[in-house]
Structure 1
């Protein structure tokens, strides 16, 4: 498995592919963005004219695309699946609905290839550092086979189940918690802002109290900035919390808090802020409360 086709050279995918090159793998990139493809080629990847050419002779195809529709297009529309080595591994690492992952896996297995459901967490920083958390669901033999590849891009690697869709479910739960945590931090800050509390002081107090969370410490400071650097966009959580709600419907599980958080991210996006940092969901609270943003440079 020394040759890997890698589809999806975005903010996370490109550094992940570069880390595979550093680890000694032959990598062929697949992306619609010629700039990303050129950057990966400069880093040592092999150029390919199409998805099927990139997958030809490869033992593994990693999909770090935006959504399930793009994964299906690469696999079934652009011919990458049939070009992949017989018995090769398709590794879906994007965040996708569990039921959709199951359907994709069934088609991959029917074509004589193996499937690993392995979404990741850790954001762009984790992708660059090679410290991602990987939540893999597949047969144990396939999990063991991809371990060296995973070790090149992640540090916390888990086998969460034997069935495709279980990895996606774990990532869905992760995104439920992340989205709700961001929204509730914004709600708390908005309440304090409404009555004139200094949010810098509030952040310092909350960061050292039982109310603290990783999201408060990470997103809290950015909520106090007018235009923070984008680490993860609002629209990411519009998509991911949508997946959470879809998974809840499929499982017959009520997720009322996730639904409210989704509406707040959706409202933020709907006002034209979909591409700003996800911490700016606080703008929806300011709009609801008629409060001016208490920001710092």
Structure 2
């Protein structure tokens, strides 16, 4: 049985999730500060709202798909935040990659209002989100998962139940994304070296993809880089943010993360060099210099 789903933030990932749900005949309500993101989805049948407050009472499950912790707090608890109109039988699903402390803060505050939280960071990119094949890392009560398992199954065929504690999903995502940032920085470095050596980049990447140096993110991004395609599917700022959050978590635990430090610094350099709004394949451009 379907029921109304709300999505706040319909950029690359949120928009793909909304399109997927609409294609499966789920009622979808959306809100985004950028009208250019909402209009194509409205054509597909989504109901648009001006503010999170306006959207909130119309849905059973509210998915937050904004960029960072500050935006997450704002769309929930800010001047036009959804929490003002959420009801006790509703659930909020937090999908951004944010600090575990931000997830715990939001979950605790929502709990005080009688609202359940699903800590649900996602991974896989817009194409997989549109196809319902992205990964979801869920931390929530079993009863809450059972209540929403049908829509979760539409959103993802790779659902990982992490724990019942909100924040553990965020921790898992940070670990994953730190490794992704390390792998991508490494792939960009070795492809830059291959170019300096005079090797054919397509052939070199083909060898790597079938050998011990292979990583999914390295292959995906370096294929774009070879084609000089830096149209953003995943902005460089995202892994810059995520690697920083992960290293901060490691520092808080007095855990040494030398490779994480290097990856974080590499992404920070890419942002400083003007690649913030390019695809994160632009690390290759950075390391060509």
Structure 1: runs of 5 or more not aligned: 288-297
Structure 2: runs of 5 or more not aligned: none
Q: Does the 8 Å CA contact 1:3/1:58 hold for their aligned counterparts?
A: yes
The answer for the alignment partner of 2:42 in structure 1 is 41
Q: How much does 1:124 deviate?
A: 0.9
C-alpha separation in 2, matches of 1:164 and 1:233 = 26
> For 1:57-77, what per-residue CA distance to the aligned partner results, in whole angstroms no more than 9, with x for missing partners?
422111011111111111111
- Structure 1 consecutive aligned stretches of length 4 or more whose deviation exceeds 6 Å: none
The answer for the alignment partner of 1:197 in structure 2 is 199
The answer for the alignment partner of 1:167 in structure 2 is 169
Correspondence for 2:158 among 144, 156, 159: 156
- Any residues of structure 2 matched to 1:44-123 within 5 Å, and which? 44-77=45-78, 78-123=80-125
C-alpha separation in 2, matches of 1:195 and 1:155 = 42
Aligned residues: 287
TM-score using structure 2 length? 0.93
Greater alpha carbon shift after TM alignment, 63-72 vs 221-230:
221-230
C-alpha separation in 1, matches of 2:216 and 2:24 = 30
Say what the alpha-carbon RMSD is for the aligned residues. 1.7
The answer for the alignment partner of 1:124 in structure 2 is 126
C-alpha separation in 2, matches of 1:209 and 1:75 = 46
Q: How much does 1:90 deviate?
A: 0.8
The answer for the alignment partner of 1:264 in structure 2 is 266
The answer for the alignment partner of 2:22 in structure 1 is 21
Greater alpha carbon shift after TM alignment, 6-15 vs 268-277:
268-277
TM-score using structure 1 length? 0.91
C-alpha separation in 2, matches of 1:280 and 1:103 = 34
> For 1:193-247, what per-residue CA distance to the aligned partner results, in whole angstroms no more than 9, with x for missing partners?
3332332332222222122222232222223233444332222211111121122
C-alpha separation in 2, matches of 1:51 and 1:204 = 46
